[in-house]
Structure 1
């Protein structure tokens, strides 16, 4: 029986250790009875083994200064009363989460011949404490950007997503829904700015977005775009 996207996600989450105790026990029991599920789990386990030698490397101070300068062109309003300390690097685990989600979105049925797949761009957009807040994957050929909120809280304000390419100018990609995944169509004129090395950032803003396209809230999460 062919695995569903939910089955694939469960196998990946089991390999990554993202399931709670009850879910993990149920998934492990399935390994003995479902060869396809066991095979999918083994694939993700192999990927995780391949990633183990990776060491965390924090971006240079110049990168964070560039983000801060791009986003803070106006005085900030802090909706929590204390400014969040920005997470300073992608972990291998958070990148793996983005990899799982990207694979789910772009996966094609293995029994059907398909053309060469485009290179997918991914980002783990992180918050304080090293926990990934949002996973993102982007298809440059179609302009489809999938946003998957994992843990994102902006209080009474609303999260707005920004892209910061090499010119250091923050450009709004619009508001995102913190409660569920969604696919956004990136306008043609904006697509050249979404590439490897460009930076995503999220700020809390009033309903409808930052006035005049200038961020007013603090950066609560950010992450660099990479390839898979």
Structure 2
């Protein structure tokens, strides 16, 4: 295979960033990355593009017609007493379903306050972070696979004092939401440094980072 072809290199970098590359091919590609700076930059480009696409949509108010529809369904009807009980129950459940759908959609469009791209020393974005009011979301993008006896642990690195653990995070697969404690929330803000270390399975047993730093990056305000 001609790995010098720009078209092939772009395609491989995109497939690697998407996470769809088969594991044997992924291992071969990662060996190429260690010796090919231009290829690492190509992967970083695709990771930045994907991170932008993964950003949640801005919060929106539901249309007025939805609220009117809810109000029309839940208002007592003058002839409700004459209707059979099963009809009343069907209407009540339909109204409840509409309310739940509206609330769920509003929650899904919650916009983050801060974002961070945690990168390797080679400036390859491995994990994206979205920080909300009460929790953070960790999105694996191109983190290297970890051994079965190891875990990735996320830390807040304050300007003063010891690091604060945010827990174990996934290296690959689905994103993870982490609920923040009051202490953790007080440290989340503009230019907060986050770092991920390689720890024993389940996280550091001592409460402090024991392994090497694999990825790091600063939280920045989301431009809206």
Runs in 1 of length 4+ with deviation above 6 angstroms?
A: none
Report the Cα distance in structure 1 between the residues aligned to 2:46 and 2:189, rounded to whole angstroms: 22
Report the number of matched residues. Answer: 138
Gaps of 5+ in 1: 1-17, 24-83, 85-90
Report the Cα distance in structure 2 between the residues aligned to 1:171 and 1:192, rounded to whole angstroms: 11
Report the Cα distance in structure 1 between the residues aligned to 2:170 and 2:132, rounded to whole angstroms: 20
Report the Cα distance in structure 2 between the residues aligned to 1:121 and 1:92, rounded to whole angstroms: 21
CA contact (8 A) 2:135 2:177 kept: yes
Report the Cα distance in structure 2 between the residues aligned to 1:96 and 1:165, rounded to whole angstroms: 29
Aligned to 2:76: none
Q: CA deviation at 1:112?
A: 3.6
> Match of 2:128, SS?
strand
Q: Which of these residues, 111, 121, 138, is aligned with residue 147 of structure 1?
A: 138
CA contact (8 A) 2:197 2:214 kept: yes
Report which structure shows greater RCO (CA 8 Å, sep ≥6). 1
Report the Cα distance in structure 1 between the residues aligned to 2:114 and 2:45, rounded to whole angstroms: 16
Aligned to 2:28: none
CA contact (8 A) 1:162 1:171 kept: yes
Seen in structure 2, the aligned counterparts of structure 1 residues 133 and 123 have a Cα distance that, compared at 3 Å, is same
Q: CA deviation at 1:165?
A: 2.2
> Match of 1:133, SS?
strand
Aligned to 2:180: 186
Seen in structure 2, the aligned counterparts of structure 1 residues 211 and 144 have a Cα distance that, compared at 3 Å, is same
Report the Cα distance in structure 1 between the residues aligned to 2:46 and 2:191, rounded to whole angstroms: 19
Report the Cα distance in structure 1 between the residues aligned to 2:47 and 2:161, rounded to whole angstroms: 25
Instruction: Indicate whether 1:101 and 2:54 are aligned.
Output: yes
> Match of 1:130, SS?
coil
Report the Cα distance in structure 1 between the residues aligned to 2:221 and 2:53, rounded to whole angstroms: 13
Instruction: Indicate whether 1:123 and 2:116 are aligned.
Output: yes
> Match of 2:212, SS?
coil
Gaps of 5+ in 2: 1-12, 19-33, 35-43, 65-105
Report the Cα distance in structure 1 between the residues aligned to 2:139 and 2:51, rounded to whole angstroms: 9
CA contact (8 A) 1:98 1:136 kept: no
Higher helix share: 2
Report the Cα distance in structure 1 between the residues aligned to 2:46 and 2:168, rounded to whole angstroms: 26
